[in-house]
Amino acid sequence: MPVKRAMLEVVRHVESIVDGLSEKQINTMIEAIENAERIFMMGAGRSGMASRAFAMRLVQLGLTAYVIGESVTPAMTEKDLLIAVSGSGETKSIVSAAKIAKGVGSKVLAVTSYPRSRLGRIANIRVEIKGRTKIDIEKDHLKHQIIGTHSTFTPLGTLFEDTVMIFFDGIIAKLMSDLKKDEREMRNRHATLE
Amino acid sequence: MPVKRAMLEVVRHVESIVDGLSEKQINTMIEAIENAERIFMMGAGRSGMASRAFAMRLVQLGLTAYVIGESVTPAMTEKDLLIAVSGSGETKSIVSAAKIAKGVGSKVLAVTSYPRSRLGRIANIRVEIKGRTKIDIEKDHLKHQIIGTHSTFTPLGTLFEDTVMIFFDGIIAKLMSDLKKDEREMRNRHATLE
Amino acid sequence: MPVKRAMLEVVRHVESIVDGLSEKQINTMIEAIENAERIFMMGAGRSGMASRAFAMRLVQLGLTAYVIGESVTPAMTEKDLLIAVSGSGETKSIVSAAKIAKGVGSKVLAVTSYPRSRLGRIANIRVEIKGRTKIDIEKDHLKHQIIGTHSTFTPLGTLFEDTVMIFFDGIIAKLMSDLKKDEREMRNRHATLE
Amino acid sequence: MPVKRAMLEVVRHVESIVDGLSEKQINTMIEAIENAERIFMMGAGRSGMASRAFAMRLVQLGLTAYVIGESVTPAMTEKDLLIAVSGSGETKSIVSAAKIAKGVGSKVLAVTSYPRSRLGRIANIRVEIKGRTKIDIEKDHLKHQIIGTHSTFTPLGTLFEDTVMIFFDGIIAKLMSDLKKDEREMRNRHATLE
């Protein structure tokens, strides 16, 4: 598949799901971030990359954010918010960590395609981001075997991960307005050394 | 700015630049990846996240990829390709590393908004991805002071980084066709533990 | 406690356990590394740091090594060796990952103070490294409350982690002899960019 | 070389340098840490691992610490302390970052075997930790060619890195006394999820 066509396929997917995003879920997420003492981000693989990219911007906004697995991440308390990202909502390490975080009283927010997944059920707050996830993939493969359709060129969690990345950037835009921060101020908080 | 509007702004940006991407640059990049013995990815901050997300997929395609700064990254040789990602093309650590890589004979490919930047000039291959970079930002801030336009809600390198993420996914789609890999095979190469 | 006295306390600890190390366990570990197609390292927190430092040297020896959690880590197979480092042998994420690795047929080697821990029982091979671990700490705290002894200044897993670091460097020395590699060759394989 | 003999070689090295450590340098370092608003750690390769292990403990002591290169590391100010670790004191990326940090007014502390190196000269504070570094290695190789001595089995920066790890644990012991923190409290600050 040509590069440009695949790019437009991703763009169409993101576009198509924006409208369906729940305003209520978005507002609850914004509120949870603004009320948390500290925000902890967690995601495996490429979802982890989107989580870290978001954490960087939160820090530039002057909020206190950490990424699970990095060296300086402290103990969580009941004033903290854990944002756990998993397309399927069944990633083992994520589910198990979300359970522990909830156990110490932290609020858990799940960003997932499956609000009824194990992660979704543990979470206090759920934000549903549609994407073609590993579960869809199994269905697609089955269908492929039966009726011979072509398989995808945006493999595995690609659509979910790219949508989450852009969704997080949308959240940043809203936080910038709410917190009255502008780009210049964020730039001043940008890591000196990278 | 509302979350959905900001998301659509990102989507529009990506869409708008797809058409302008140089087919020649894309083909040279695909060829360089297919001919390299190993591919080394490098980027600072959020560009680094896009670089790592790309490296993960390359590994799932059965290629040998490394990320500069991770523990197991070996010495580079003249058979290797370094893909360096920097919006401005002026990120100090990236420019300096690109110079060293070229010194040991590796091929250097720059993904940047500024092909004439220091990184662009060092590179053997340049892929231009338009985005609003730190240099544009200075101009915007200046304009903002003079004519009072609103400043952006997709701050700093956001547009470049999101576009690069999707561009890399386009490259993966093309590599999948070329190498005749399907999703099922990639899934089998997906990290067992994450 | 003065810095130098604490340093000597660590040194004494390492010295004191060297003699008790099982030659049989060491030889089994060396053999497992030399026979593995690829070596995967895993450890949480500071044990993770020792694991990565070891992975770097394995790569410099010309072996193929990966660290769980880094971007380029591929799927494991039955030809691979997972070295899991956990003082207590009860670190949840490590135990759960060891189980998965064993499930796909990889060999699992546990480096732990507690060979009868959950990790120890899952592992095919156990290397016992004595250290004051989280379990000892509970006992020490109890004793402290009862008889008022002073608590430690090498807190938590410090003694275990420092001993493991030096133990791994001992393994590297042996591999250098066995594989007839010298420092000069390792240096040539040292990461070009870091 | 047998594993145990190599381990004892490392132990002897650490032991032999403890006495020579400058009390004045140690005290200046302790003071700088206690007076800094935030501590930023930086090191390449295995020195980076020791730096991160130290950062973890600083956080457990209730101090604010960051590691250069991790996602949540903010901009540095003139109230911050950068601890840069480099055996040779000539690691390019470290030297260049130290220069930038000093430029923004942060205090720079170099942990190095060569106080007169480029890093040492940039730093406000120098702590000299003897180790066999890359520079010694060149001399050793030369000698080896001339008089045929055996080359080392603790290759490259091993002795420096292991000594620094234990030195940092000595600093932690001192900070624990000074700040009247005990292990129990540190454990409560230990990362909930890892």
Strands laid side by side in the A107-112 sheet: A65-67, A39-43, A81-85, A107-112, A125-128
pLDDT computed for residue C191 by the predictor: 86
pLDDT, tens digit, 9 for 90 and up, residues C3-42: 999 999 999 999 999 999 999 999 999 999 999 999 999 9
What residues of chain B lie within 8 A of the CB of D100, using their CB?
92
**Res. C150: pLDDT tops 60:** no
Residue spans of the domains in chain D: they are 2-184
Measured CA distances, A143 to B64, B189, C186 (Å): 32, 22, 51
The chains in contact with chain A, meaning 3 or more Cβ pairs closer than 8 Å, are B, C, D
> Which residues in chain B are contacts of D96 at CB distance < 8 A?
92-93, 96
Of B69, B97, B192, the CB nearest to C76: B192
3-class DSSP state of B172: helix
CATH topology of domain C2-184: Rossmann fold (3.40.50)
**Chains contacting C with at least 3 CB pairs below 8 Å?**
A, B, D
| Average pLDDT taken over every residue of chain A | 91
Q: What band does A192 get if pLDDT is binned at 50, 70 and 90?
A: confident
Looking at the complex, does the CB of residue B59 fall below 8 Å from at least one CB of chain C? yes
pLDDT, tens digit, 9 for 90 and up, residues C107-143: 999 999 999 999 999 999 999 999 875 556 666 666 6
Query: In Å, how far is B187's CA from the nearest CA of chain C?
Result: 9
pLDDT in 10s for each residue of chain B, 194 residues: 899 999 999 999 999 999 999 999 999 999 999 999 999 999 999 999 999 999 999 999 999 999 999 999 999 999 999 999 999 999 999 999 999 999 999 999 999 999 999 999 999 999 999 987 555 666 666 665 555 444 578 888 999 999 999 999 999 999 999 999 988 889 888 988 87
Digitized pLDDT (tens) for each residue of chain D, 194 residues in all = 899 999 999 999 999 999 999 999 999 999 999 999 999 999 999 999 999 999 999 999 999 999 999 999 999 999 999 999 999 999 999 999 999 999 999 999 999 999 999 999 999 999 999 987 555 666 666 665 555 444 578 888 999 999 999 999 999 999 999 999 988 889 888 988 87
Spatial contact of D7 and C169, defined as CB atoms under 8 Å apart: yes
φ, ψ dihedrals at A42, nearest 5°:
-150, 135
DSSP collapsed to 3 states, D89-125: CCCHHHHHHHHHHHHCCCEEEEEECCCCCHHHHHCCE
Q: Is D56 near chain A, with CB under 8 Å?
A: yes
What is the three-class DSSP state of C130? coil
Question: In Å, how far is D47's CA from the nearest CA of chain A?
Answer: 14
What pLDDT is attached to residue D74? 95
**For the complex shown, is ipTM > 0.90?**
yes
* Closest-CA distance of chain D to residue A120, Å: 19
Sheet of strand C65-67, all strands in order from the earlier edge strand to the far edge: C65-67, C39-43, C81-85, C107-112, C125-128
Query: What's the average model confidence in pLDDT over C186-194?
Result: 85
D121 residue type, one letter: R
Single-letter amino acid, residue C21: L
Q: How many Å apart are CA C175 and CA A105, to the nearest integer?
A: 47
Best interface-test mutation with A: which of D59, D68, D71 has the largest number of A CBs within 10 A? D71
- Least confident residue range of A29-43, A45-59, A126-140, D44-58: A126-140
Residues 6+ apart with CB under 8 A from B147: none
Any chain C CB within 8 A of the CB of D104?
no
Decide if D69 touches B, using CB distance below 8 A: yes
B27 min Cα distance to partner chain A (Å): 9
- CA B99 → CA A193, B109, B115, distances in Å? 19, 12, 15
What's residue A97's pLDDT?
Answer: 93
Q: Does A67 touch chain D (CB under 8 A)?
A: yes
E-only strand ranges, chain D: 39-43, 65-67, 81-85, 107-112, 125-128
Please tell me which residue of chain B has the smallest CA distance to C58. Answer: B72
Rounded Cα–Cα distance for residues A16 and A68 (Å)? 31
Please name which of A38, A90, A107, A88 lies closest in space to residue A66, comparing C-alpha atoms: A38
Q: Is A169 on the interface with B (CB under 8 A)?
A: yes
Asked whether the predicted pLDDT for residue C49 surpasses 90, the reply is: yes
Mean pLDDT computed over A148-171:
85
Residues paired with residue B108 on neighbouring β-strands, in sequence order: B82
Cβ atoms of residues D84 and D109 within 8 Å: yes
Instruction: Work out the burial of residue A64: count CB atoms within 10 Å of its CB; fewer than 13 is exposed, 13-18 middle, 19 or more buried.
Output: middle
Confidence bin at A149 (pLDDT 50/70/90): very low
Nearest CA in chain D to C176: D153
Among all residues of chain B, which has the CA nearest to that of A50?
Answer: B49
Chain C CB within 8 Å of residue A92 CB: yes
